[in-house]
Amino acid sequence: MKEVMAIIRLNKVNQTKEALASAGYPAFTCRKVLGRGKKKVDFSMVESVIADGVIPATAVGEHLTEGARLIPKRVFTLIVSDDDVEKVVDIIIQTNTTGNPGDGKIFVIPIMESYQVRSGEAATDAY
């Protein structure tokens, strides 16, 4: 078993839910998260706006600090069989690709054990 964890844009949540469910993967968890990527601001391009090393409290200054802000995103988590990982990853990529920075990230993590909460028994079919 594997956990597929995908961080996606807010505006892609419904499309992702529909794509996964229609492909036979209706069981998942979706959480609200805040985060940011690796995008950096090139301050050399805006040196004329920055006075004495201080970013102004204007719309331009607000835009310059955007690289440090936490952006609202959603995290989808699915537990799937090893054979289904590639298919699920492909569905998520196809549904969420816009070609722009911030489309998201997908992580695949091995699941070593799982248990049924109701019975406490080890579960080999937890997904």
> pLDDT tens-digit profile of 17-57?
999 999 999 999 999 999 877 766 555 655 655 666 666 56
- Among 63-77, 85-99, 107-121, which range has the highest average pLDDT? 85-99
For 42, the domain range is 2-110
In a domain, 121, yes or no: no
Q: What is the CATH number of the domain that holds 102?
A: 3.30.70.120
% of the chain at pLDDT higher than 90:
54
**Phi-psi region at 83: left, alpha or beta (left = phi > 0; alpha = psi -120 to 50):** alpha
In a domain, 123, yes or no: no
Report how many domains make up the chain.
1
pLDDT exceeds 90 at position 69: no
pTM of the model: 0.75
Q: Which helix (H) or strand (E) holds 101?
A: none
